[in-house]
């Protein structure tokens, strides 16, 4: 396993980009549903959500992001060349935290000039509710304290988890790689179940929920680590399958990813009502693992995912994830009541893509390059100057 080189899988970047696009559509859909259906009409709302899940799987995309992160971040260690802890953390800070700070600054500007709920649905009631809560902003910067991540930009909640897990990821990866794969997955499932149970039994507040969510999401990273560790064996088994079985596996993976969690929640409403609403993430994680295997081993799918427009979407997926909600919220503030909501969404999408590409080109990519250069200097003090 340590013999082959670690490489970047372009198809997984594209998969991340398509998932980020479904998060955009997810927030469009939530906004439209809140405006169109009253609270009492939850059955109609649920039915529409179910039908549109293939293009608006928001929570599902976040689970895929976590599994993908576990997979990609563990590759150096799996291939026998683990990074020094200082190098790993430095790269993660430049990869996640510094672009996040720029996006946070944009959210603050939006909060200063555009605040309050412009719609009739109160969907945005907790987002930019007052000009700026400076204490809340400080907590957003430090990732500490009792604060609500929805007040400036709802997608920020995942970045808190990503950075927390990044700080312990090398230790987590080393621990998993010393275990048997089945035992590691069993351990992850137990940690997830314990976190979900503790959150319910302790009736935790927002900050505590982030602690328990962190423990739960650690288990999803473990799925990615095991998948990276066993990828040669899994790929060999997949390639031995008949064409019909490969198609069946693809269908099962998509069904688990898109619909597994949704159906579990609605068939097991009592479980969800008692705090088990994170349990369906395991259906989504299994579907995500299946999709990753397909992307790595299907030549037809690779050709699609390597197509330049889709791959470009993958490159800017993090920027799109950071910015899209703020762009939508700003457009709604400026245009609500003047244009139909669906027309606002049509205008939002190209603006999302254009601004996200600019953010990637001028903010995210330079931070990535700087992080690589600094980590190389940390490993080799004689490394050359920062390339232009």
pTM of the predicted model, to two decimals?
0.93
- Chain length of the chain: 388
Identify the pLDDT of residue 5. Answer: 46
Which of 26-35, 268-277, 292-301 shows the lowest mean pLDDT across its residues?
A: 268-277
Residues 6+ positions from 49 with CB-CB distance below 8 Å: 29, 33, 56, 262
The secondary structure element, H or E, covering residue 307 is: none
CA separation for the pair 117, 120 (Å, rounded): 8
Q: Give me the chain's average pLDDT, please.
A: 89
CA separation for the pair 297, 200 (Å, rounded): 40
The answer to whether the beta carbons of residues 176 and 229 sit under 8 Å apart is yes
Taking Cα atoms as reference points, which of 322, 341, 323, 321 lies closest to residue 332?
Answer: 341
CA separation for the pair 111, 330 (Å, rounded): 10
Residues 6+ positions from 5 with CB-CB distance below 8 Å: 79
pLDDT of residue 237 exceeding 80, the answer is yes
Domain ranges of the chain: 10-378
What 3-state DSSP class applies to 314?
helix
The proportion of the chain whose per-residue pLDDT surpasses 90, expressed as a percent, equals 66
Mean pLDDT along residues 218-236: 97
334-349 confidence digits (pLDDT tens): 999 899 999 999 999 9
Taking Cα atoms as reference points, which of 335, 328, 338 lies closest to residue 124?
Answer: 328
């Amino acid at each position: 396993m340590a013999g082959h080189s670690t490489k970047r899988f372009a198809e997984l970047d594209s998969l991340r980009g398509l998932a980020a696009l479904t998060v955009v559509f997810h927030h469009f859909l939530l906004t439209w549903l809140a405006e169109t259906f009253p609270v009492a009409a939850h059955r109609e709302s649920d039915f529409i959500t179910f039908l549109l899940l293939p293009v608006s799987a928001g929570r599902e995309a976040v689970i895929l992001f976590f599994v993908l992160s576990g997979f990609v971040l563990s590759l150096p260690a799996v291939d026998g060349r683990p990074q020094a802890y200082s190098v790993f953390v430095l790269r993660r800070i430049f990869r996640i935290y510094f672009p996040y700070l720029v996006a946070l600054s944009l959210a603050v500007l939006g909060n200063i000039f555009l605040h309050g709920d412009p719609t009739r649905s109160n969907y945005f009631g907790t987002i930019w509710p007052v000009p700026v809560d400076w204490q809340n902003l400080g907590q957003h910067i430090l990732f500490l304290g009792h604060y609500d991540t929805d007040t400036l930009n709802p997608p920020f909640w995942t970045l808190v988890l990503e950075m927390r897990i990044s700080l312990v990821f090398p230790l987590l990866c080393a621990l998993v790689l010393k275990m048997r794969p089945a035992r590691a997955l069993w351990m992850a499932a137990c940690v997830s179940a314990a976190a979900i149970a503790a959150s319910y039994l302790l009736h935790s507040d927002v900050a505590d929920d982030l602690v328990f969510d962190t423990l739960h999401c650690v288990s999803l990273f473990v799925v990615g680590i095991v998948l990276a560790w066993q990828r040669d064996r899994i790929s060999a088994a997949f390639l031995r399958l008949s064409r019909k079985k490969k198609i069946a596996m693809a269908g099962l993976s998509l069904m688990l990813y898109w619909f597994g969690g949704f159906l579990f929640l609605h068939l097991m409403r009592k479980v969800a009502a008692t705090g088990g609403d994170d349990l369906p993430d395991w259906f989504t994680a299994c579907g995500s693992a299946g999709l990753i295997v397909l992307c790595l081993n299907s030549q037809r799918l690779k050709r699609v995912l390597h197509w330049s427009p889709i791959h470009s979407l993958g490159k800017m997926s993090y920027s799109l994830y950071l910015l899209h909600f703020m762009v939508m919220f700003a457009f709604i503030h400026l245009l609500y009541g003047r244009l139909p909501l669906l027309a606002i969404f049509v205008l939002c999408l190209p603006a999302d893509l254009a601004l996200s590409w600019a953010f990637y080109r001028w903010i995210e990519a330079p931070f990535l390059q700087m992080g690589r250069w600094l980590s190389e200097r940390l490993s080799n003090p004689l490394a050359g100057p920062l390339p232009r």
